[in-house]
Amino acid sequence: MKTTGIFGIGIAGVGSLFFLASPLAAEEIQLVNCLGVGARAMGMGSAYVAVAEDATALYYNPAGLAKILRIEVSADFLHQSAENSLDFFGSSKTTDLGKTSLGGLRVAYPFPTYRGSLVAALGVERVRSFDSDFWYAGFTSGDVPEVADYEEEAIARSGGMHAWSLGLAFDASRDVSLGATIRYWRGELNEEGDYVATYASPFTCDVTETWNTHADFSGWQFTMGALLNPSPYVRLGGKIDFPVTLTADGDDYSRLEFTDCPGAEVIVEDFLFEDEIRMPFSFSGGIALTPPNLILAFDARYTDWTELEYAGRLRDPVTRRFEYDATTDLLFGAEVLLPRYPVRLRGGYSIEPIAYNKGEIDKDRASWSAGVGVLIDRVLTIDAAYVRSSFERSMPDNGLAQELTESKVYVSLAYRM
């Protein structure tokens, strides 16, 4: 049933989008979870704040744009697949999902300078995916009054969020580069859902609900970055993503029917809505060791999700505890250039804790990645990466347990003139 509000963040009775009956499902706010950009960066576990030296620096660290020496045009393609398994009081259901899309398109232009560097870039990235399937069904633990004896719910979502970015970077000194990006977020979400519940106590009653929702999102964001080269074999990077306020405009239709219940009725709602959600600051820092033919990178990203705002700060109505925790993501990556061959091999590992604190985290979100890059005729680079991530969580009191496994394949092309 629809019980968690427009952004799926556990606010009963507010709004109409990202709503799911299960608190487990409500956790995955796709606005919180990043999709990732560029095959080279993803092959290195997204540990790219201190490595960024191509047009994807628009996303990872705009200061890295200053390292671009030639006009660059690049594009990404992405294939996503996911297996979502839900156990409801011992009854397991699994859904599979797959989609291929254009991940990003960018162009970077280095201006002629007498000293240092001045580079501008323009790009669009698919930074969030709303594509998902959710399904659970089964009988509950027993004959408990006012608790359904049988429940089934299926929700299908589609859509995504794109970020249109304009960036500028320059060398403030020989060893320091600074950059900034202004970003316009734009996206849409479509959702269809069905819910069925059967009650046997204290009276027999069947409840069914169907709904569909469409929403368009938009908002502006500003990012600042810095890159420092304290020695020939060490790079330090830092980035601040400023808060973004997203506006959602859309329409919602739902039909709720009570059958064989006391006072049985049908409730139909059809309305337009407008809501806002404010995303918090995010701070990223990284270090990269760059001896000949090798890059070793480490990033840390801190986001205080307790500052996530939707009609105010998000707290549990009973305990008053924030519904989201601050998280620190840890990202590791490596790249090796094969001697005498224009081929680079990559690998990475990341730990990105789940921010939503309802339920128990049995296995936190972790990802590993592998990638390869090939340079052709010194002007064309082809990169590919494979990323696999998973997590497990449960809510024993609700009889729910979830295991989600995702795979992503990135292919990037970059042409330098």
Please answer whether residues 369 and 352 qualify as being in contact, where contact means their C-beta atoms are separated by less than 8 angstroms: no
Return all residues near 183 (Cβ < 8 A) that are at least 6 apart.
Answer: 163, 164, 165, 166, 220, 221, 222, 223, 244
Give the tokens for residue 293: 């033919």
pTM: 0.89
Q: Is residue 207 scored above 60 in pLDDT?
A: yes
Q: Is residue 336 scored above 60 in pLDDT?
A: yes
For the purposes of burial, counting CB atoms within 10 Å of the CB of 261, is it exposed (0-12), middle (13-18) or buried (19 or more)?
A: middle
Using DSSP bridges, classify how beta strands 343-351 and 400-416 pair: parallel, antiparallel or unpaired.
unpaired
Q: Angle 32-25-301 (CA atoms, 0-180°, nearest 5)?
A: 25
pLDDT category of residue 318 using cuts at 50, 70 and 90: low
Q: Is residue 84 scored above 50 in pLDDT?
A: yes
Residue 10, pLDDT score: 30
Q: Mapping DSSP to helix (H, G, I), strand (E, B) and coil, where does residue 63 land?
A: helix
As a whole number of angstroms, the distance between CA 51 and CA 49 comes to 6
Q: Which of 366, 337, 341, 342 is nearest to 354 (CA)?
A: 366
Q: What is the mean pLDDT of residues 241-255?
A: 92
- Identify the residue whose tokens are 């990033």: 299
Cis peptide before 230 (omega within 30 of 0): no
Residue 262, pLDDT score: 76
Q: What is the mean pLDDT of residues 336-340?
A: 93
As a whole number of angstroms, the distance between CA 78 and CA 384 comes to 10
As a whole number of angstroms, the distance between CA 5 and CA 180 comes to 34
Q: Mapping DSSP to helix (H, G, I), strand (E, B) and coil, where does residue 357 land?
A: coil
Residue 356, pLDDT score: 80
Q: Which residue has the higher pLDDT, 124 or 401?
A: 124
The DSSP H or E segment spanning 27 is: helix 23-27
As a whole number of angstroms, the distance between CA 198 and CA 244 comes to 42
Query: CA dihedral in degrees (47, 127, 22, 206; nearest 10)?
Result: -160
Q: What is the mean pLDDT of residues 105-127?
A: 95
Check residue 159 and give left, alpha or beta (phi > 0: left; psi -120 to 50: alpha). left
- Could you tell me the domains of the chain? 23-416 (2.40.160.60)
Query: CA dihedral in degrees (43, 44, 48, 50; nearest 10)?
Result: -140
Return all residues near 13 (Cβ < 8 A) that are at least 6 apart.
Answer: 3, 5
pLDDT category of residue 59 using cuts at 50, 70 and 90: very high
Please give the mean pLDDT across all residues of the chain.
86
Q: What is the DSSP letter of 203?
A: S
Give the tokens for residue 370: 């592998």
pLDDT tens-digit readout, 148-182: 788 888 888 889 899 999 999 999 999 999 999 99
Q: Which residue has the higher pLDDT, 26 or 94?
A: 94
Of all residues in the chain, the percent with pLDDT exceeding 70 is 87
As a whole number of angstroms, the distance between CA 371 and CA 363 comes to 25
